Amino acid sequence: MSQKYWEDFDLGFSFKTPSITVTETHVVNWAGLTMDFYPLHMDAEFAAKTPFKERIAHGPLIFGMAVGMAGLAKVEGGSIIAWMGVDNMRMHAPVKIGDTITVHIETIEKRETKKESQGIQIWKYSVRNQRSEVVMSFNMNFLMHRKPSGQ
Amino acid sequence: MSQKYWEDFDLGFSFKTPSITVTETHVVNWAGLTMDFYPLHMDAEFAAKTPFKERIAHGPLIFGMAVGMAGLAKVEGGSIIAWMGVDNMRMHAPVKIGDTITVHIETIEKRETKKESQGIQIWKYSVRNQRSEVVMSFNMNFLMHRKPSGQ
Amino acid sequence: MSQKYWEDFDLGFSFKTPSITVTETHVVNWAGLTMDFYPLHMDAEFAAKTPFKERIAHGPLIFGMAVGMAGLAKVEGGSIIAWMGVDNMRMHAPVKIGDTITVHIETIEKRETKKESQGIQIWKYSVRNQRSEVVMSFNMNFLMHRKPSGQ
Amino acid sequence: MSQKYWEDFDLGFSFKTPSITVTETHVVNWAGLTMDFYPLHMDAEFAAKTPFKERIAHGPLIFGMAVGMAGLAKVEGGSIIAWMGVDNMRMHAPVKIGDTITVHIETIEKRETKKESQGIQIWKYSVRNQRSEVVMSFNMNFLMHRKPSGQ
Amino acid sequence: MSQKYWEDFDLGFSFKTPSITVTETHVVNWAGLTMDFYPLHMDAEFAAKTPFKERIAHGPLIFGMAVGMAGLAKVEGGSIIAWMGVDNMRMHAPVKIGDTITVHIETIEKRETKKESQGIQIWKYSVRNQRSEVVMSFNMNFLMHRKPSGQ
Amino acid sequence: MSQKYWEDFDLGFSFKTPSITVTETHVVNWAGLTMDFYPLHMDAEFAAKTPFKERIAHGPLIFGMAVGMAGLAKVEGGSIIAWMGVDNMRMHAPVKIGDTITVHIETIEKRETKKESQGIQIWKYSVRNQRSEVVMSFNMNFLMHRKPSGQ
């Protein structure tokens, strides 16, 4: 795969990732790894009495998986120097055990930096379930390589 | 533990969580769960040639652990109705395998909502390592129960 | 949370922990971690022919989870110096995959030691399922800090 | 258990291992450990549209489990010096989540080596499901201790 | 392996299991599975200031592994009907990350029951480290099949 | 990524995958998932007395990871219909905990089938460590889509 640069991703550039089914195993392993045993995720009796009616996946799990799935898509092609942060992470709908998620990613902002060899892009991640409902969205800020002059 | 409310957490209220050491096991299990095998985290030969000199933990892992650690502290006391989102997540310094992290949390904003029974608070999470360096920070937005009148 | 002492837990003091649903993931991960692949837990065809009719959770898994859940409740408040052992662990009923357990804990014995700064307490752990049936019980022996004189 | 040797396993010698149910947890943990997120194993929506109609277990997972199950049977009795390789691994039928597998193992070839203290055996592993269908087979090549003369 | 019975294990019968090294992975995975994040096991900075000087393994993890290791030894040969409980579990010395444990098991009590087809045995498990120090011991109560008359 | 076909991979076509460091976590998690607790992998005391001097990774773990790493490279581009099997899997050198592996893959055989829409390819996988030593090799047999005529 050839090296890519800040210049290769125009405003409005978009792609989607492979999909994955969020299983009970993801939820239980997540809880153990991150120490988050909030009963809405781990206690089926409790969850049955909430408006959700059943255990739902942790929001940060969906975030973590979305970040990983974007990498699996292998689209950025070495252009990213560093992950600078996340803004505006919002949960729009619950992800239930057994839902299948896909991430739709779009370049929503790009700007140059003082350093000529680098640029910044903001990619909006929208996680959708199997009914195409957006369940979570967030904006990732990336520092990227600019194309060396002469190329 | 008695039920707590939006009114119980004033601006400037703060606490810190228990601490945990981030191990190679956390990093490898994280990669598998979230599908993020970026070589800076997983390839010791690659990492040795970066400015970090060694594998570092995934940023979203530190975020996920910080969220879980806040729960372990059991401070919110049932006041939180829902997690509304995250803003301004920034990585300030790398977390290396073997570093021990603690989360310092502070109420930085609170406001009423139209619904009298609910309020909003923004809690700033600052993750520090064993040298008290802030390695990551982010703002969590919570919808909270307000104290029923008469209490 | 303020520091607690041996004096703070009278005979008959009791509390219950958060609840958690025991999933197939717990059982499979447990088997791998502890090397216990006994077919009643791991072989659905075998289990279907037993009086239990289905796979059941390992007894020591329920013990391990109960110990952890007691910690999550954060009741002991730093009073415990050391875990001295367990007596009288008994399985009273099977825990099936999907059952939700809660631990009820009660101080059933307390005594001073020769060392004035320390005392011993025995806490009885009773693990109940979602139908309030006691599925397992055991007695934990703790060495605790005594309240410094003058406090 | 007494030490066994190349001489103790004649052509046609056979045994079967304990059985285990292949769960969703095995599949999800496998994917994470081996980085194999191919959608037929991980994406329920995709799998539903294939001839298999549902997610199936990774072939190499069945291979890995079969090798482990053979060890659990504790038949080789210290005779094996080294695993020399595998030939003719073939998947004959899908293993679905919830299927229970057992390995039938048979000595299909044995030969001496130049070194008098060592011999070679090829053991054919046939993995069967709960309906006794062979789902996978492969041949394992083992270097074994020969019985010291005089025994 | 031929079926074994209560009669096959005399008082004083003993065996030892395979050995295993207790790794950081065991400790971290254990914490996540059982929700036990006590800092002596998980916080290297905290542990460094204790008399142990470093993180030590959870006691119940050693118990769980010992139970599993006994099964791996495949000595009971189908004689056990049910695990009736545990008594007198005591931790004698810490197990540090990297220690290698082996379980020594001995029949210390056997008695008949009213039911002629069943008997009870108490097996004492002594877990030793690589320096042959006993780190944990406990007594397992087993209900066993008695040999059918005429055999 | 555009759809690829049997025609797109000529004899001698080759690529290499991303690299990954094989950690103690991989080995311990593997053992638990596949039930393979052979002491050369799990018992540091035992391993220290072997010619390897230390614990080494399970051969099938390296196979499983190599298969997954090939997928991460995203080279086959939808050309593969099915995995038909593996031949000639051989371990050439031990993989120690901490070694970093990369897979080099080459098309070594291709043939048509009676069905015009399908072809077969054999890809040789050579797993190398950080010193470029081949530690394992095996041949994967793939059934592939042929390019529809007119394209």
SS3 letters for E82-150? EEEEEEEEEECCCCECCCEEEEEEEEEEEEECCCCCEEEEEEEEEEECCCCCEEEEEEEEEEEECCCCC
CA distances from D56 to D39, D128, F144 (A): 10, 15, 20
Look at residues B133, B68, B51, B69 and name the one whose alpha carbon lies nearest to residue B95: B133
A1: contact with E, CB 8 A cutoff: no
- The answer to whether F35 contacts C37, with C-beta atoms less than 8 Å apart, is yes
- Residue C88's pLDDT is 98
- Residue A151's pLDDT is 59
pLDDT average, residue stretch A48-77: 96
DSSP state of E8: G
F32: contact with B, CB 8 A cutoff: no
Q: Taking 70 as the threshold, does the pLDDT of residue B151 lie above it?
A: no
E38: contact with B, CB 8 A cutoff: no
- The answer to whether B43 contacts F18, with C-beta atoms less than 8 Å apart, is yes
Task: Name the band, by pLDDT with cuts 50, 70 and 90, for residue A49.
Answer: very high
- Residue F2's pLDDT is 81
Q: Taking 90 as the threshold, does the pLDDT of residue C136 lie above it?
A: yes
Angle at D81 between CA F60 and CA E78, to 5 degrees: 75
- Are D5 and D76 contacting, i.e. CB atoms less than 8 angstroms apart? no
Look at residues A107, A38, A20, A83 and name the one whose alpha carbon lies nearest to residue D37: A20
pLDDT average, residue stretch E79-98: 96
d(CA E72, CA E67): 9
- Residue D151's pLDDT is 60
Question: In sequence order, what DSSP letters do the residues of chain B get, joined into one string?
Answer: -----GGGS-TT-EEE---EE--HHHHHHHHHHHT---HHHH-HHHHHTSTT-S-B--HHHHHHHHHHHHHHTT-STT-EEEEEEEEEEEE-SPPBTT-EEEEEEEEEEEEE-SSTTEEEEEEEEEEE-TT--EEEEEEEEEEEEPPPTT-
Look at residues A120, F61, F50 and name the one whose alpha carbon lies nearest to residue B28: F61
β-partners of residue A90 are A137
Q: What is the pLDDT of residues C34-43, one digit of tens each?
A: 999 999 999 9
d(CA B89, CA B86): 7
Q: Taking 90 as the threshold, does the pLDDT of residue B2 lie above it?
A: no
Q: Which chains sit next to F, with 3 or more Cβ pairs under 8 A?
A: B, C, D, E
Nearest CA in chain D to F39: D71
Q: In the block, which residue shows the tokens 């277990």?
A: D57
B3: contact with E, CB 8 A cutoff: no
Question: In sequence order, what DSSP letters do the residues of chain A get, joined into one string?
Answer: -----GGGS-TT-EEE---EE--HHHHHHHHHHHT---HHHH-HHHHHTSTT-S-B--HHHHHHHHHHHHHHTT-STT-EEEEEEEEEEEE-S--BTT-EEEEEEEEEEEEE-SSTTEEEEEEEEEEE-TT--EEEEEEEEEEEEPPPTT-
A85: contact with B, CB 8 A cutoff: yes
F93: contact with E, CB 8 A cutoff: no
Mutation for E interface: B16, B17, B19, most E CBs within 10 A:
B19
pLDDT average, residue stretch F52-66: 98
pLDDT average, residue stretch F88-112: 97
Q: What is the pLDDT of residues E34-80, one digit of tens each?
A: 999 999 999 999 999 999 999 999 999 999 999 999 999 999 999 99
Task: Name the band, by pLDDT with cuts 50, 70 and 90, for residue A106.
Answer: very high
Interface B-D: count of C-beta contacts within 8 A: 12
Q: What is the pLDDT of residues B112-126, one digit of tens each?
A: 999 999 999 999 999
Task: Name the band, by pLDDT with cuts 50, 70 and 90, for residue B1.
Answer: low
Task: Name the band, by pLDDT with cuts 50, 70 and 90, for residue E149.
Answer: confident
Joined together, the tokens standing for residue D119 give 């011999």
pLDDT average, residue stretch F28-35: 98
Angle at C21 between CA C16 and CA C25, to 5 degrees: 140
d(CA D129, CA D133): 6
F31: contact with C, CB 8 A cutoff: yes
DSSP state of F88: E
Q: What is the pLDDT of residues B56-83, one digit of tens each?
A: 999 999 999 999 999 999 999 999 999 9
- The answer to whether D21 contacts C44, with C-beta atoms less than 8 Å apart, is yes
Q: What is the pLDDT of residues A13-30, one digit of tens each?
A: 999 999 999 999 999 999
d(CA E63, CA E104): 13
Q: How large is the greatest C-alpha to C-alpha distance in chain B, in angstroms?
A: 64
Q: Which chains sit next to E, with 3 or more Cβ pairs under 8 A?
A: A, B, C, F
Joined together, the tokens standing for residue F37 give 């607790």
- The answer to whether F46 contacts E19, with C-beta atoms less than 8 Å apart, is yes
Q: In the block, which residue shows the tokens 């920034």?
A: B90
Identify which of F18, F23, F130 has the shortest CB distance to residue B24: F23
Q: In the block, which residue shows the tokens 């009288």?
A: C88
- Residue A96's pLDDT is 98
> In percent, how much of chain A has pLDDT > 70?
98
Structural domains of chain C in order of their starting residue, each with its CATH number: 6-145 (3.10.129.10)
CA distances from C126 to A149, C56, C114, C141 (A): 71, 18, 30, 14
- The answer to whether B32 contacts D32, with C-beta atoms less than 8 Å apart, is yes
- Residue C15's pLDDT is 97
- Residue B149's pLDDT is 81
- Are A102 and A141 contacting, i.e. CB atoms less than 8 angstroms apart? no
Joined together, the tokens standing for residue D32 give 């994470």
b/e map of A77-104 (b: 16 or more CB within 10 Å)? eebbeebbbbbebbbeebbbbebbbbbb
Alpha carbon B33 to its chain centroid, in Å, reads 19
Identify which of B29, B90, B91 has the shortest CB distance to residue A33: B29
F73: contact with B, CB 8 A cutoff: no
Look at residues F118, E68, B43 and name the one whose alpha carbon lies nearest to residue C36: E68
- The answer to whether A32 contacts E37, with C-beta atoms less than 8 Å apart, is no
Task: Name the band, by pLDDT with cuts 50, 70 and 90, for residue E15.
Answer: very high
The complex scores an ipTM of 0.95
Identify which of B26, B33, B38 has the shortest CB distance to residue A71: B38
Q: From the CA atom positions of chain D, what is the Rg in Å?
A: 18
Q: Taking 80 as the threshold, does the pLDDT of residue B150 lie above it?
A: no
Mean pLDDT for chain E? Answer: 96
d(CA F31, CA F58): 8
Q: How many CA atoms lie within 13 A of A38 on its CB side?
A: 24
Nearest CA in chain C to A27: C25
* Helical H segments across chain C, by residue range: 24-34, 39-42, 44-48, 59-72
Q: What is the pLDDT of residues D1-39, one digit of tens each?
A: 589 999 999 999 999 999 999 999 999 999 999 999 999
- The answer to whether D88 contacts F85, with C-beta atoms less than 8 Å apart, is yes
Nearest CA in chain A to C129: A45
At how many degrees (to 10) do helices F24-34 and D24-34 cross?
A: 150
pLDDT average, residue stretch C8-24: 97
Mutation for E interface: C19, C27, C36, most E CBs within 10 A:
C36
The alpha carbon of residue E56 is apart from the nearest alpha carbon of chain C, in Å, by 13
d(CA F38, CA A144): 46
The alpha carbon of residue D91 is apart from the nearest alpha carbon of chain F, in Å, by 6
d(CA E62, CA E13): 23
The alpha carbon of residue F57 is apart from the nearest alpha carbon of chain D, in Å, by 13
| 3-state SS record for B26-44 | HHHHHHHHHCCCCHHHHCH
- Residue C128's pLDDT is 98
Task: Name the band, by pLDDT with cuts 50, 70 and 90, for residue A143.
Answer: very high
A46: contact with B, CB 8 A cutoff: no
Q: Taking 70 as the threshold, does the pLDDT of residue D116 lie above it?
A: yes
Contacts of B30 in chain A (CB under 8 A): 33, 64
CA dihedral D32, D34, D39, D42 (to 10 degrees): -30
Look at residues D40, F65, E86 and name the one whose alpha carbon lies nearest to residue C88: E86
A87: contact with C, CB 8 A cutoff: no
Instruction: State which H helix or E strand residue D119 sits in.
Output: strand D118-128
- Residue E43's pLDDT is 98
pLDDT average, residue stretch B14-22: 97
- The answer to whether E89 contacts C86, with C-beta atoms less than 8 Å apart, is yes
- Residue B108's pLDDT is 98
Q: How many residues does chain E have?
A: 151
Contacts of D85 in chain F (CB under 8 A): 88-91
- The answer to whether F45 contacts E18, with C-beta atoms less than 8 Å apart, is no
pTM: 0.97
Joined together, the tokens standing for residue E132 give 């042959």
How many beta carbons lie within 10 A of that of residue B73, not counting itself? 15
Identify which of E33, E71, E138 has the shortest CB distance to residue C30: E33
pLDDT average, residue stretch D48-64: 97
Joined together, the tokens standing for residue B117 give 């029974």
